[in-house]
Amino acid sequence: MAPSQPLSTSTPPASPVVFESALAMQEQAIAWRHAGDDIGLVPTMGALHAGHDSLVSRARRENQRVIVSVFVNPKQFGPHEDFENYPRPFGQDRARLEALGVDAIFHPPVDQIYPPAFKTRVDPGPLGEVLEGKSRPGHFGGVLTVVLKLLNLTQPKRAYFGQKDFQQVVLVRQLVRDLALPVRIVVAPTVREPDGLAMSSRNAYLDPAQRQLAPIVRQAVTEAARAFTEGETDPANLERLTRERLAGAPGVEIDYVAVVDETTLSRPQRAVPGGVLAVAVKLGSTRLIDNVVLGAERL
């Protein structure tokens, strides 16, 4: 439970304080900022894995105080998505965050973030309607609404996001730029299983056969990215290569394969270094996403 008074600002606590109250979290964050401490925020929906660990470790290195939010945000799930079933192993998450030395875990119940009178919604604009946004209408409005609220409640100097959710990063950066939010967005590389599958809390939904098939997503984008480094710059050809590779895996249903500009998300005439090849597939009822930054990774 949250303490009634903000903590002393001198030394990190031995184990993280869990705040459930939005107001208590905000008071603590303001006290830390007034004491001159930089706060790093890692926003999560829990079910933490090594990808989250890398964000938290980086936040730990770069800030005096680290807050991790653990909140399964109902507003970013569509009516037929997995909000109810989304894993919530809070005890395990808490132990993991304690081992990583975080100062505070913000774990609010839904009505602390969305009290009954809550009405506001952030509109991500056109970039929220392509790729993920096309398949998941309303998703990014929900993401940006909660991210803005989490930033206000935790007052971070830096907020940490993973490259796997590449479109989310583009939209969070847009939010920060458009609304002049005083926070730096730090993006960390995707952490992968040894077979290349991007780490995701949703990987837990895959049955053994699907799990065996899942690395095909990484293999497909890697092959296309290799073709790019060997001189193929036609976006249509890079997308075709990716689709052909995925088509060889029965049971993988392609949602989209797209070469896009890394800031406008539009399709370039020619693929250039720094552009992104992004993919979403369904394996059974599990949606997997991945991407590669062209010319940027050792493949």
Q: Kindly name the residue from 52, 80, 107, 139 that is annotated as catalytic.
A: 52
Residue 46 vs 235, nearer CB to ligand PAF: 46
Active site residue 49: no
Tell me how far, at minimum, the Cβ of 167 lies from ligand PAF, in Å: 11
Spatial distance between the Cα atoms of 21 and 112, rounded to a whole number of angstroms: 6
Tell me how far, at minimum, the Cβ of 147 lies from ligand PAF, in Å: 6
Tell me how far, at minimum, the Cβ of 24 lies from ligand PAF, in Å: 20
| Positions that interact with ligand PAF (CB under 6 A) | 43-45, 73, 76, 143, 146-147, 165, 168
For 68, 192, 229, 257, 263, the CA distances from 215, given in Å and listed in that order, are 29, 10, 21, 16, 27
For 22, 43, 76, 111, the CA distances from 115, given in Å and listed in that order, are 11, 20, 16, 4
Return the structure tokens found at 171.
Answer: 């939209």
Q: Return the bridge partners of 288, or none.
A: 281
Tell me how far, at minimum, the Cβ of 211 lies from ligand PAF, in Å: 21
With tokens 């945000």, the residue in question is 73
Spatial distance between the Cα atoms of 70 and 118, rounded to a whole number of angstroms: 20
Residue 28 vs 76, nearer CB to ligand PAF: 76
Residue 157 vs 267, nearer CB to ligand PAF: 157
Residue 146 vs 206, nearer CB to ligand PAF: 146
C-beta of residue 5 within 8 angstroms of C-beta of residue 27: no
Active-site positions read: 52
